Amino acid sequence: MEKIFYYAPTGDRLSNKSMATHWEHAIPAYRNAPHVWNVGGQDNVAVFLLDTGDGLILFDTGLNEEVFYLVIDRIWRAGFDPMDIKKIFLTHWHGDHSSCARLLHEMTGCEIWLSKRDEVEHQRFADSDFPMRVRPYTVTNFYEDENPVRMGNFEIRTRLVPGHTPGCTAFFFEDTDEETGKTYKVALHGGLGVNPMMKPERLAQDGYPEEQAHTFVRDCYELAKLPVDIALASHLNQANILPNIPKDPRDYSVFVADYAWGDVLINRADAVKEFYPEVYGK
Ligand SMILES: [Zn+2]
Protein backbone atom coordinates (compact mmCIF):
# COMPACT_ATOMS: atom_id res chain seq x y z
CA MET A 1 0.00 0.00 0.00
CA GLU A 2 1.34 3.40 -0.94
CA LYS A 3 1.30 5.81 1.98
CA ILE A 4 0.11 9.18 0.73
CA PHE A 5 -0.31 10.86 4.12
CA TYR A 6 2.85 11.87 5.98
CA TYR A 7 4.39 14.92 7.61
CA ALA A 8 5.49 17.20 4.76
CA PRO A 9 7.86 20.07 5.57
CA THR A 10 6.72 23.51 4.45
CA GLY A 11 8.54 26.10 2.40
CA ASP A 12 7.81 29.81 2.11
CA ARG A 13 4.39 28.99 0.71
CA LEU A 14 2.88 28.87 4.17
CA SER A 15 4.57 31.90 5.67
CA ASN A 16 2.52 34.87 6.85
CA LYS A 17 4.16 36.99 4.16
CA SER A 18 2.87 34.82 1.33
CA MET A 19 -0.58 34.97 2.88
CA ALA A 20 -0.77 38.69 2.09
CA THR A 21 -2.03 37.44 -1.27
CA HIS A 22 -4.33 34.91 0.33
CA TRP A 23 -6.52 34.55 -2.76
CA GLU A 24 -3.58 32.82 -4.44
CA HIS A 25 -3.76 30.23 -1.66
CA ALA A 26 -7.46 29.52 -1.82
CA ILE A 27 -8.63 25.90 -1.81
CA PRO A 28 -12.16 24.47 -2.09
CA ALA A 29 -14.22 23.12 0.78
CA TYR A 30 -13.88 19.34 0.94
CA ARG A 31 -15.34 16.56 3.03
CA ASN A 32 -12.79 14.94 5.35
CA ALA A 33 -15.11 12.43 7.10
CA PRO A 34 -18.84 11.63 6.80
CA HIS A 35 -19.92 14.74 8.74
CA VAL A 36 -16.66 16.71 8.73
CA TRP A 37 -15.61 19.33 6.16
CA ASN A 38 -12.51 21.49 5.93
CA VAL A 39 -13.90 24.99 5.38
CA GLY A 40 -10.64 26.86 6.07
CA GLY A 41 -10.53 27.98 2.43
CA GLN A 42 -6.72 28.38 2.26
CA ASP A 43 -3.79 25.98 1.99
CA ASN A 44 -2.27 26.50 5.45
CA VAL A 45 -4.53 26.07 8.51
CA ALA A 46 -7.67 23.93 8.48
CA VAL A 47 -11.05 24.91 9.87
CA PHE A 48 -13.06 21.75 10.42
CA LEU A 49 -16.84 21.97 10.37
CA LEU A 50 -18.67 19.18 12.18
CA ASP A 51 -22.33 18.72 11.27
CA THR A 52 -23.74 17.26 14.48
CA GLY A 53 -27.36 17.08 13.28
CA ASP A 54 -28.19 19.66 15.95
CA GLY A 55 -26.03 22.59 14.89
CA LEU A 56 -22.46 23.04 13.74
CA ILE A 57 -19.14 22.88 15.57
CA LEU A 58 -15.98 24.48 14.19
CA PHE A 59 -12.53 23.24 15.14
CA ASP A 60 -10.35 26.38 14.83
CA THR A 61 -11.36 29.47 12.91
CA GLY A 62 -8.93 30.48 10.18
CA LEU A 63 -5.44 31.74 9.57
CA ASN A 64 -6.17 35.46 10.00
CA GLU A 65 -9.07 37.89 9.77
CA GLU A 66 -8.29 38.54 6.09
CA VAL A 67 -9.43 35.01 5.21
CA PHE A 68 -12.69 35.24 7.17
CA TYR A 69 -14.61 35.68 3.90
CA LEU A 70 -13.15 32.39 2.65
CA VAL A 71 -14.36 30.55 5.77
CA ILE A 72 -17.88 31.93 5.40
CA ASP A 73 -17.91 31.17 1.67
CA ARG A 74 -16.67 27.59 2.17
CA ILE A 75 -19.31 26.91 4.84
CA TRP A 76 -22.04 27.89 2.35
CA ARG A 77 -20.41 25.89 -0.45
CA ALA A 78 -20.28 22.80 1.76
CA GLY A 79 -24.05 23.18 2.11
CA PHE A 80 -24.36 24.76 5.55
CA ASP A 81 -25.49 28.06 7.06
CA PRO A 82 -22.79 29.83 9.11
CA MET A 83 -25.51 31.04 11.49
CA ASP A 84 -25.91 27.41 12.65
CA ILE A 85 -22.45 27.44 14.31
CA LYS A 86 -23.01 26.73 18.01
CA LYS A 87 -19.51 26.03 19.31
CA ILE A 88 -15.93 26.82 18.35
CA PHE A 89 -13.32 24.37 19.67
CA LEU A 90 -9.86 25.93 19.58
CA THR A 91 -6.98 23.45 19.34
CA HIS A 92 -4.75 26.02 21.07
CA TRP A 93 -4.62 29.76 21.66
CA HIS A 94 -2.33 30.82 18.77
CA GLY A 95 -3.52 33.48 16.33
CA ASP A 96 -3.38 31.32 13.20
CA HIS A 97 -6.11 29.13 14.76
CA SER A 98 -8.13 31.71 16.70
CA SER A 99 -8.08 34.84 14.52
CA CYS A 100 -11.68 34.65 13.32
CA ALA A 101 -13.13 33.46 16.65
CA ARG A 102 -14.33 36.90 17.70
CA LEU A 103 -15.96 37.62 14.34
CA LEU A 104 -17.75 34.26 14.32
CA HIS A 105 -18.89 34.79 17.92
CA GLU A 106 -20.24 38.26 17.17
CA MET A 107 -21.99 36.97 14.06
CA THR A 108 -23.61 33.85 15.55
CA GLY A 109 -23.40 34.11 19.36
CA CYS A 110 -21.56 30.76 19.40
CA GLU A 111 -19.49 29.55 22.33
CA ILE A 112 -15.68 29.68 22.20
CA TRP A 113 -13.93 26.76 23.92
CA LEU A 114 -10.27 26.46 24.95
CA SER A 115 -8.31 24.55 27.59
CA LYS A 116 -7.93 26.34 30.94
CA ARG A 117 -4.17 26.02 30.62
CA ASP A 118 -4.05 27.76 27.25
CA GLU A 119 -6.37 30.52 28.45
CA VAL A 120 -3.56 31.46 30.86
CA GLU A 121 -1.20 31.77 27.87
CA HIS A 122 -3.83 33.58 25.82
CA GLN A 123 -4.14 36.24 28.54
CA ARG A 124 -0.39 36.37 29.13
CA PHE A 125 0.41 37.14 25.50
CA ALA A 126 -2.83 38.92 24.56
CA ASP A 127 -1.17 42.26 23.82
CA SER A 128 2.10 41.01 22.35
CA ASP A 129 3.19 39.77 18.96
CA PHE A 130 4.36 36.43 20.39
CA PRO A 131 4.35 34.17 18.49
CA MET A 132 2.11 36.18 16.20
CA ARG A 133 -0.54 38.84 16.62
CA VAL A 134 -3.64 37.36 18.26
CA ARG A 135 -6.92 39.07 17.42
CA PRO A 136 -8.87 39.60 20.66
CA TYR A 137 -11.40 36.91 21.56
CA THR A 138 -13.16 35.93 24.76
CA VAL A 139 -13.26 32.29 25.81
CA THR A 140 -16.71 31.23 27.06
CA ASN A 141 -16.14 27.54 27.96
CA PHE A 142 -13.29 25.26 29.04
CA TYR A 143 -12.71 21.62 28.13
CA GLU A 144 -13.00 19.07 30.90
CA ASP A 145 -11.24 15.94 29.67
CA GLU A 146 -13.27 13.73 32.01
CA ASN A 147 -16.55 15.09 30.59
CA PRO A 148 -16.98 14.59 26.83
CA VAL A 149 -18.96 17.26 24.98
CA ARG A 150 -22.23 15.87 23.62
CA MET A 151 -24.06 17.58 20.78
CA GLY A 152 -26.47 16.05 18.27
CA ASN A 153 -25.14 12.69 17.06
CA PHE A 154 -21.68 13.28 18.48
CA GLU A 155 -19.75 12.72 21.65
CA ILE A 156 -16.39 14.46 21.54
CA ARG A 157 -13.65 13.51 23.96
CA THR A 158 -10.84 15.95 24.63
CA ARG A 159 -7.34 15.36 25.91
CA LEU A 160 -4.73 17.89 27.00
CA VAL A 161 -1.60 17.36 24.88
CA PRO A 162 1.03 19.90 26.05
CA GLY A 163 4.00 20.61 23.83
CA HIS A 164 3.37 23.08 21.05
CA THR A 165 1.64 25.13 23.76
CA PRO A 166 1.09 24.13 27.41
CA GLY A 167 -2.65 23.75 26.78
CA CYS A 168 -2.92 22.16 23.34
CA THR A 169 -5.92 19.87 23.01
CA ALA A 170 -6.59 16.69 21.03
CA PHE A 171 -10.11 15.61 20.01
CA PHE A 172 -11.58 12.14 19.46
CA PHE A 173 -15.00 11.14 18.16
CA GLU A 174 -16.82 8.59 16.04
CA ASP A 175 -18.59 9.49 12.82
CA THR A 176 -21.11 7.26 11.03
CA ASP A 177 -21.93 7.45 7.31
CA GLU A 178 -25.68 6.80 7.04
CA GLU A 179 -25.31 5.81 3.36
CA THR A 180 -22.88 2.95 4.02
CA GLY A 181 -23.56 2.27 7.69
CA LYS A 182 -19.83 2.50 8.39
CA THR A 183 -18.52 4.15 11.54
CA TYR A 184 -15.09 5.76 11.61
CA LYS A 185 -12.86 6.75 14.50
CA VAL A 186 -11.74 10.34 13.89
CA ALA A 187 -9.00 12.24 15.73
CA LEU A 188 -7.40 15.67 15.65
CA HIS A 189 -4.14 16.47 17.48
CA GLY A 190 -4.15 20.21 18.01
CA GLY A 191 -0.43 20.93 18.27
CA LEU A 192 1.94 19.02 16.03
CA GLY A 193 4.13 22.00 15.12
CA VAL A 194 7.48 21.32 16.79
CA ASN A 195 9.90 23.65 15.02
CA PRO A 196 11.51 25.46 16.74
CA MET A 197 9.14 25.86 19.69
CA MET A 198 10.26 22.77 21.56
CA LYS A 199 14.00 23.39 21.42
CA PRO A 200 15.44 23.74 24.94
CA GLU A 201 16.60 27.33 24.47
CA ARG A 202 13.27 28.38 22.97
CA LEU A 203 11.22 26.80 25.77
CA ALA A 204 13.40 28.59 28.33
CA GLN A 205 13.02 31.88 26.48
CA ASP A 206 9.23 31.55 26.45
CA GLY A 207 9.14 30.62 30.15
CA TYR A 208 8.17 26.95 29.72
CA PRO A 209 9.80 23.96 31.44
CA GLU A 210 11.83 21.50 29.34
CA GLU A 211 9.46 18.82 30.63
CA GLN A 212 6.85 20.18 28.20
CA ALA A 213 8.85 18.73 25.28
CA HIS A 214 9.26 15.35 26.99
CA THR A 215 5.55 15.21 27.79
CA PHE A 216 4.86 15.81 24.09
CA VAL A 217 7.12 12.90 23.11
CA ARG A 218 5.55 10.54 25.66
CA ASP A 219 2.00 11.53 24.67
CA CYS A 220 2.71 11.09 20.95
CA TYR A 221 3.99 7.56 21.48
CA GLU A 222 1.04 6.70 23.70
CA LEU A 223 -1.63 8.23 21.47
CA ALA A 224 -0.09 6.74 18.31
CA LYS A 225 -1.28 3.32 19.57
CA LEU A 226 -4.93 4.38 19.43
CA PRO A 227 -6.89 3.06 16.46
CA VAL A 228 -7.82 6.05 14.28
CA ASP A 229 -9.40 5.63 10.84
CA ILE A 230 -9.36 9.29 9.81
CA ALA A 231 -6.71 11.68 11.15
CA LEU A 232 -7.59 15.36 10.72
CA ALA A 233 -4.58 17.65 10.16
CA SER A 234 -4.82 21.14 11.66
CA HIS A 235 -2.09 22.37 9.28
CA LEU A 236 -2.47 20.77 5.86
CA ASN A 237 1.23 20.03 5.49
CA GLN A 238 1.11 17.92 8.64
CA ALA A 239 -0.43 15.08 6.65
CA ASN A 240 0.51 16.08 3.07
CA ILE A 241 -3.15 16.93 2.41
CA LEU A 242 -2.88 19.38 -0.51
CA PRO A 243 -1.98 16.90 -3.30
CA ASN A 244 -4.70 14.56 -2.04
CA ILE A 245 -7.76 16.81 -1.97
CA PRO A 246 -10.29 14.81 -4.00
CA LYS A 247 -11.80 16.17 -7.24
CA ASP A 248 -15.24 15.32 -5.89
CA PRO A 249 -15.40 17.42 -2.70
CA ARG A 250 -17.92 15.00 -1.15
CA ASP A 251 -15.72 11.91 -1.59
CA TYR A 252 -13.95 11.54 1.76
CA SER A 253 -12.88 7.93 1.08
CA VAL A 254 -9.29 8.96 0.29
CA PHE A 255 -8.91 10.13 3.90
CA VAL A 256 -9.75 6.75 5.41
CA ALA A 257 -6.17 5.65 6.16
CA ASP A 258 -5.52 3.91 9.46
CA TYR A 259 -1.72 4.41 9.33
CA ALA A 260 -1.78 8.22 9.08
CA TRP A 261 -2.47 9.10 12.74
CA GLY A 262 0.27 6.90 14.19
CA ASP A 263 2.84 7.71 11.50
CA VAL A 264 2.55 11.48 11.89
CA LEU A 265 2.62 11.38 15.71
CA ILE A 266 5.75 9.20 15.77
CA ASN A 267 7.38 11.44 13.17
CA ARG A 268 6.71 14.52 15.34
CA ALA A 269 7.90 12.82 18.53
CA ASP A 270 11.14 11.82 16.79
CA ALA A 271 11.63 15.40 15.55
CA VAL A 272 11.48 16.66 19.15
CA LYS A 273 13.80 13.89 20.38
CA GLU A 274 16.50 15.23 18.04
CA PHE A 275 16.56 18.45 20.09
CA TYR A 276 17.56 16.45 23.19
CA PRO A 277 20.37 14.02 22.24
CA GLU A 278 21.54 13.89 25.86
CA VAL A 279 18.15 12.48 26.86
CA TYR A 280 17.24 10.29 23.90
CA GLY A 281 20.65 9.53 22.34
CA LYS A 282 21.66 10.37 18.78
ZN1 LIG B 1 0.37 27.13 17.05
Contact (CB, 8 A) for 167 and 141: no
If you measure from the C-alpha of residue 233 to the centroid of ligand 1, how many angstroms do you get, rounded to a whole number?
13
Q: What is the pLDDT of residues 134-188, one digit of tens each?
A: 888 999 999 999 999 999 999 999 999 999 999 999 999 999 999 999 999 999 9
Q: What is the pTM of this model?
A: 0.95
Residues 6+ apart with CB under 8 A from 73: 41
If you measure from the C-alpha of residue 193 to the centroid of ligand 1, how many angstroms do you get, rounded to a whole number?
7
Q: Would you state the pLDDT for residue 192?
A: 93
If you measure from the C-alpha of residue 129 to the centroid of ligand 1, how many angstroms do you get, rounded to a whole number?
13
Residues of the chain with pLDDT under 70: 11-19, 130-132
Question: How far is the C-alpha of 166 from the C-alpha of 131, rounded, in Å?
Answer: 14
Angle subtended by helix axes 211-224 and 260-273, to nearest 10: 160
If you measure from the C-alpha of residue 183 to the centroid of ligand 1, how many angstroms do you get, rounded to a whole number?
30
Q: Would you state the pLDDT for residue 125?
A: 87
Contact (CB, 8 A) for 119 and 167: yes
Provide the pairing of β-strand 183-189 with 230-232. parallel
If you measure from the C-alpha of residue 96 to the centroid of ligand 1, how many angstroms do you get, rounded to a whole number?
7
If you measure from the C-alpha of residue 236 to the centroid of ligand 1, how many angstroms do you get, rounded to a whole number?
13
If you measure from the C-alpha of residue 180 to the centroid of ligand 1, how many angstroms do you get, rounded to a whole number?
36
If you measure from the C-alpha of residue 8 to the centroid of ligand 1, how many angstroms do you get, rounded to a whole number?
17
Q: Would you state the pLDDT for residue 17?
A: 59
If you measure from the C-alpha of residue 1 to the centroid of ligand 1, how many angstroms do you get, rounded to a whole number?
32
Strands (DSSP E) contained in 77-128 are 85-89, 111-114
Contact (CB, 8 A) for 224 and 265: yes
Q: How many CB atoms lie within 10 A of CB 16?
A: 13
Question: How far is the C-alpha of 3 from the C-alpha of 189, rounded, in Å?
Answer: 20
Residues 6+ apart with CB under 8 A from 70: 22, 26, 40, 41, 42, 62
193-to-138, 163, 199 alpha-carbon distances in Å: 24, 9, 12
Residue 48, strand partner residues = 38, 59
Residue 171 corresponds to which amino acid? Answer: F
Contact (CB, 8 A) for 191 and 165: yes
If you measure from the C-alpha of residue 84 to the centroid of ligand 1, how many angstroms do you get, rounded to a whole number?
27
If you measure from the C-alpha of residue 263 to the centroid of ligand 1, how many angstroms do you get, rounded to a whole number?
20
CATH of 24-280, one of 3.40.640.10, 3.60.15.10, 1.20.140.10, 3.40.50.1820: 3.60.15.10
If you measure from the C-alpha of residue 190 to the centroid of ligand 1, how many angstroms do you get, rounded to a whole number?
8
If you measure from the C-alpha of residue 226 to the centroid of ligand 1, how many angstroms do you get, rounded to a whole number?
23
